[in-house]
Chains A and B, each alone.
Chain A
Amino acid sequence: MNLSLLDPFAVAKEYPDTLAQTLAYGHSTQVRYSYKGDYLASGLVDGIILIIDTDTNSTIQVLRDHTRAITSLNWSPCGRYLLSSSKDWKVNLWDLGTCTVIRSYNFEGPVWCSVMNPHNRFQFVAALVDNDPVFADLENEPKITKLDTNPRDQPNTVKQSTLTATMTPDSNYILTGTSKGWLNVIDTKSLQIVRSLNVCSSNIKNIEISPNCSKLAVNSSDRIIRQYTMPDTSVPAADWEFELETRYQDAVNRLQWNALKFNHNSEYMCASTLGATHDVYIWETGMGSLVKILEGSNDELLAVDWNYRKCSIVATTMDTGTLFIWSVVIPQKWSALAPDFEEIEENIDYEEKEDEFDYVDEDDMNKQIEEEGDEIDVIQREEVDARGFPFVDSFVIESVPVSE
């Protein structure tokens, strides 16, 4: 509700521009905002996960079970469940109502990343170090299915491994990336590779699908992010067309991109950099032009995430694990402080109107009360806020007041 009363130009900004906050709550390796943006999960190098309230920036819950660095975090859309993977070989599913682990699975090695099925919190896909990726269903007895790494219709002669995985928002397909630059599309039902695409010849580090499912970005260690039109997932995968839209690279500084994230409508993309510069780059995805460099960090940046509703971006740093948060600065409207204040661009010579201070013998209040005939709806809420996001109820995580 606040947005409709704030400066509309500041509210209309699509991406953050100012460093607003740094949070040094342990050495963070992974960050993820909940879908509603009201909480931030931060995974630490020692395996602890912190739940941070984004209104107060204080840690309201501490989740302890993992013993090594957290490698990925995923929220369920309802905001109650969190999936975490760690270098301690484990993937945990947390219930934030009780803040306990409700499902856990021990793999045979460290986990690169795990991705929750947005439609079934007990299912996830995980990329494992030196092993084939797996699709897991932990609802009842754990059911772990190995997925192929070798691309479809390719001879099994080149040794490669799967480094990353993601799932389409409709959860019908899994996308994995290999160490030889292959992108594999796996059908979630048959768990078979239905399509393979050779993106480049080096490691694929991240695959990112925009929330509205219109764009796909592949980040690889050849220092290029390739952005594709996301194929229509309603047609068979064999007919998918991957149209290369843009290649993002910094030819001068030869920057490695570390992590990337689309904004909610995929019009912008941000990526953290590894190397001499310690910045987050933001591009406009239509033309692929760089629109903003978020500066302020004195350390190399690792994970990034975008809080769409609050229009802020968070990044973790490599050496200290401090969180850097950039957001939009909204100027105080001075006209808000009194109903008859007006903000003017330049000085205006005041001219008293003819009747301005005339005494009118009229009962203003009774006149106003008589004009109150209109039907007023005090119940029906607005459906969306001023940025166009629907007002949704999300799970509220208990915050315990600390004793003095």
Chain B
Amino acid sequence: MYKTKWTLDKAHDALVTSAKISPDGGLLATTSTDRTIKLWKLSETGVTYWKTLAGHTKGISSIEFAPNSKYIASASDDLTIRIWDVERGEFVQILRGHTFHVTVLKFHYRGSILVSGSADENIRVWDLRRAKCMKVLSAHSDPISSLDFSFDGTVIVSGSYDGLIRLFDLETGQCLKTLIYDKSGSSYPVSHVTFSPNSKYILSSSLDGFVRLWDYMNNKVVKTFQNVDGGAVAEKYSLGTCFLTCFASPLVCSGDEKGKVLLWDVQSKEIVCQLDTGSGSPVMEVEPVGNGEELLTVCMDGQVRLWQREGE
């Protein structure tokens, strides 16, 4: 289904936490517990090292490109978020406010707002124009693991290790809805959340090893995805998930903790394809380029690979 386009075997010497391709498709950014962000130039043939952004004093757990590809936001264990000017290679803002490790970031589609989640159990909404915190959403009781915006940018979904998925209204900061899965006895930490392309559903991963698709309007899980033979997808790490919509029937994608990438059919919940990164370490992130014509996978040991779609 996918073949390798290029592979970076060791993006960083330390553990790699995140990698993103810029919205304009020209750049790859990787980040690591070594406190740096590396930028790589992409071309039709492959990937070449460009420069390193240094400044954080502790490991970085998440990076995001701004929608215009000119800026990168990074979240670090040094309690700050930095906004970097890609061209100049230096940071233009430091956002301070979180009182513990910053774990996750997301840009609003207009690029003027950034939301961040932290191990201090809060979500902060930042006005990037003024480098000011607009709102603090304190509704979780454990670290925030994941955030996402609905396609129209009005709703924020958050996943937390307290086992809750909450939806917030960006404008008022109010909690709009809370989802909890307690059918397996108790609730497990939520490790990743993402909106479906039409934002009517939420795909969540939790550390009981399942990936679930929620119909949040009706508080209902409508699909459950499992690893081969009903095994766990991830029980220890927060691994990314995504939707691939370039196929006739949309797919859900997630890595597992042994270096495999799983692709499920949304309707049948069957695994239609497994990609082996060969790294054997957890696949931290899976990122579609476009609507899935290409797929970026990031392994914790530093392997970054771009897959190219091949056939149906």
Contacts and interface: CB of A to CB of B under 8 A. Distances in A.
Interface in B43-58: none
A55 B170 contact: yes
Contact of A58 (B109, B130, B184, B215): B130
Chain A binding site: helix, strand, loop or mixed by DSSP? loop
Interface in B83-105: 83, 92-94
A396 B110 contact: yes
Interface in A29-70: 38, 53, 55-56, 58-60
Contact of B150 (A1, A60, A372): A1
A339 B179 CA distance: 6
Interface string A363-384: 0110011001011111111100
A55 B110 contact: yes
Interface stretch (B4-12, B194-202, B301-309): B194-202
- Interface range for B: 35 or more
Nearest to A331: B174
A403 B92 CA distance: 5
A402 B93 contact: yes
Nearest to A396: B110
Contact of B176 (A6, A58, A376): A6
Interface in B111-153: 111-113, 127-131, 134, 139, 150-153
Interface in B161-197: 167, 169-172, 174-180, 183-184, 196-197
A336 interface: yes
B250 A378 contact: yes
A53 B175 CA distance: 23
A92 B213 CA distance: 50
Contacts of A365: 183-184
Contacts of A376: 201, 213, 215, 222-223, 266-267
A242 interface: no
Contacts of A391: 151-152
A58 B217 CA distance: 32
Contacts of B175: 332, 336-337
Nearest to B172: A330
Interface residues of A, number: 46
Nearest to A377: B198
B278 to A, nearest CB: 30
Interface string A1-43: 1111110000000000000000000000000000000100000
Nearest to A334: B175
A5 B155 contact: yes
B71 interface: yes
A401 B151 contact: no
Nearest to A329: B172
Contacts, number: 153
Nearest to B154: A2
B269 A372 contact: yes
Given A55-B171, A378-B250, A401 B198 contact: no
A377 B151 CA distance: 15
Contact of B112 (A368, A399, A403): A399
B233 to A, nearest CB: 14
Contacts of B174: 6, 330, 332-333, 336
A337 B199 CA distance: 20
B129 A53 contact: yes
Nearest to A310: B171
A60 B129 CA distance: 6
Interface string B247-291: 000100000000000000011010000000000000000000000
Nearest to B203: A378
Given A1-B152, A382-B200, A402-B93, A372 B222 contact: yes
B106 interface: no
Given A2-B171, A55-B112, A404 B131 contact: yes
Given A337-B178, A365-B183, A378-B266, A399 B129 contact: yes
A396 B178 contact: no
Given A1-B199, A339-B180, 5 more contacts: A3-B154, A336-B174, A372-B221, A396-B109, A402-B92
10 contacts: A2-B154, A55-B110, A55-B170, A56-B130, A330-B174, A336-B178, A365-B184, A376-B267, A379-B197, A404-B131
- Which 6 A-B residue pairings sit nearest by Cβ, starting from the closest? A378-B196, A2-B154, A5-B176, A399-B112, A364-B183, A56-B127
